[in-house]
A and B are shown apart, each in its own frame.
Chain A
Amino acid sequence: MVLIILSISLGSVNISIAEIAKILLGSPTENTANYNILFSYRLPKTLTSVFAGAALGFAGLQMQTLFRNPLAGPFVLGISSGASLGVALLVLLGVGINGALAYWGMAIASIVGSLTVLLMVVLVSVRLKDSMSLLLVGLMFGAFTSAIVGVMQYFSTAEDIQNFLFWTFGATGNLSWTELQIFIPIIIIGISLGYWQAKPLNALLMGDYYAQSMGLRIKNVRLFLVISTSILAGIVTAFCGPIAFLGIAVPHISRILFKTSNHFVLIPATLLLGACLLLVCDIIAQVPYSDLILPINAVTSLFGAPVVIWLILRRKNISKTFG
């Protein structure tokens, strides 16, 4: 909550907290400029961060439990790269990102992209029992899709490439209310789909054989988790660009903070922590009291990676707390 207020109140134009309270409570204000900044820029931005952060954290948690691998996450398994490929196909092949239809187009393109990669990863994971090889395969998929994007960039116009590059920097501030109307419901669908699998996720902690022996239909669960993750990772990547690091880090931080592997606790925890973390990164990215805005992707990695390293060092062995 505090972070939400901070995020709304900090920006290149200084608006006092009292003023914000007044505007939010609906009392008439003499300063329409402030009103506009608040409603058409800061509020959507804050909401975007909250939902995107929650979505990424949860997507990471699902991947880590499904693959029983502490390194799994939307990024490492190439899911975000898949989403990038979807968007790249759309942007670089000249369809462009204009008009209301394009938002849907981008959302669908990136979800299809991430779903394709994730399904391939799952197909491979059925053949490979060993999670290390799976990780390598995910990385290869990521490299493969990035290469395709690279080739496409080579043959694209400078303007398209610029559009695409800006997209890869990641941003939470580009969403209008109309886009949020797509963004938020889809994330809520993805989260509910995943939350519905909380009990199977707990069973998966024991390993596939045990989960099955407890009456879990493992193929269905895998499918649901894959769909939920690709919706979440896909939509966020579509609208905010590929945001690194959150997906891996948030589940670990939740496990360490809450000292549990029960998904009925971990899911709300990752949602909340993910939202908070992205808000913090977002606030840092705006560089309070200045006109600068840093790319959010750089900030999440810049400030996030040391945090994770510190946590791991303190814990000595993360695979023991994992799961």
Chain B
Amino acid sequence: MDNFSHIMTTTDLSVGYKNGKSVNTLMESLTLRIPKGKFIALLGANGVGKSTLIRTLANLHPILKGEICLKGKNIKEYASKEFAQQLSLVLTDPVQSGNLTVYELVEMGRFPFTNWTGKLMPLDQEKIENAIQLCEISYLKEQKITEISDGQLQKAMIARALAQDGELMLLDEPTVHLDANNRYTILKLLRNLVDETQKSILISTHQVEIALKMADEIWLANCGENMKCGTPNELIKNGDIERAFPYLKKLDL
């Protein structure tokens, strides 16, 4: 397989939960590709398994069936540090450490690169500064994370993931809890990051309209159906989007 154009591939992947003997499969036979330097939006209703898929791809959740390869290598064969250097995450779990400053938060991104004392080398500092600049949060650097708004915090979390400098970033609902303007700003920021850094970004989101405008590729998850992948135009043309999100038509904006 060409490892160079695809950062991550899955073969016949099933995700879901296993509790003792009962297995609850949320998605199955997924054969997905994340190309290099692309912005992918994962759309789907609540409870369809978007977060579970993202956690599974990030090796935080056990795989039910099939396999996931990162840069051509099975993710189970990665050492945890090596894996973290390739892939970074933004999740919906709140971070509750009031004493952390924004800078310290972004600094955490360098965790897989520093030694046990956590000392930052000039390269690390450069990456941190760079991430802060790209996310336009320089003015927040010394603020505590409880003193900033949700939108600012989300930017800081993205900056942290960026400082981790993996070629792939996974974001689980980065726009949740944000107001309309901030939702747009965050997605626009991610779009720019893809263009400027050539990283690949996969997000799950409910912002259908913005995602259709900005993403290079849409993954459309529907209960009991196979995942539909394609460019926004393809999915709009063949009516998949309209079938999945009938409200768009009704609002008729």
Contacts and interface: CB of A to CB of B under 8 A. Distances in A.
B1 interface: no
B80 A216 contact: yes
A59 B32 CA distance: 46
A301 interface: no
Interface stretch (B89-97, B189-197, B199-207): B89-97
B147 to A, nearest CB: 10
Interface in A242-273: 255, 259-262, 264
A202 B118 contact: yes
Given A206-B97, A212-B59, A213-B84, 6 more contacts: A199-B116, A210-B91, A264-B118, A322-B98, A323-B97, A323-B98
B159 to A, nearest CB: 14
Q: Which of A215, A217, A259, A320 has the most CB of B within 10 A?
A: A215
Interface stretch (B38-46, B105-113, B216-224, B244-252): B105-113
B114 A199 contact: yes
B227 to A, nearest CB: 23
Contacts of B93: 207, 209-210
B146 interface: yes
Interface of B: 55, 58-60, 80-85, 87-89, 91, 93, 95-100, 104, 108-109, 111-112, 114, 116-118, 146, 164
Contacts of B111: 199, 203, 214-216
A261 B100 contact: yes
A319 interface: yes
Range class of the A interface residue count: 20 to 34
A68 interface: yes
A320 B60 CA distance: 27
B49 to A, nearest CB: 17
Given A199-B116, A214-B108, A260 B85 contact: no
A214 B96 contact: no
Contacts of B60: 209, 212-213
Interface of A: 68, 196, 198-199, 202-203, 205-207, 209-210, 212-217, 255, 259-262, 264, 319-323
Contacts of A320: 98, 146
B112 A215 contact: yes
Nearest to A204: B97
Contacts of B114: 199
Contacts of B80: 212, 215-217
Q: Which of A209, A260, A264, A322 has the most CB of B within 10 A?
A: A209
B99 A260 contact: yes
Contacts of A202: 108, 118
Contacts of B118: 198-199, 202, 264
A196 B117 CA distance: 8
A205 B117 CA distance: 16
Contacts of A196: 116
Contacts of A321: 98-99
Given A202-B108, A215-B80, A215-B83, A210 B96 contact: no
A299 B185 CA distance: 56
A210 B114 CA distance: 16
A215 B81 contact: yes
Q: Which of B81, B87, B118 has the most CB of A within 10 A?
A: B118
Nearest to A317: B98
Contact of B100 (A198, A216, A217, A323): A323
A255 B112 contact: no
A214 B95 CA distance: 14
A155 B181 CA distance: 71
Nearest to A203: B111
A205 B97 contact: yes
B144 to A, nearest CB: 9
Contacts of A264: 117-118
Q: 7 closest A-B pairs (Cβ-Cβ)?
A: A215-B84, A323-B97, A261-B99, A215-B112, A215-B81, A214-B111, A320-B98
Contacts of A205: 95, 97, 100
6 contacts: A205-B95, A206-B97, A210-B91, A215-B85, A215-B112, A262-B104
B97 A214 contact: no
Nearest to B117: A199
Contact of A319 (B83, B87, B96): B96
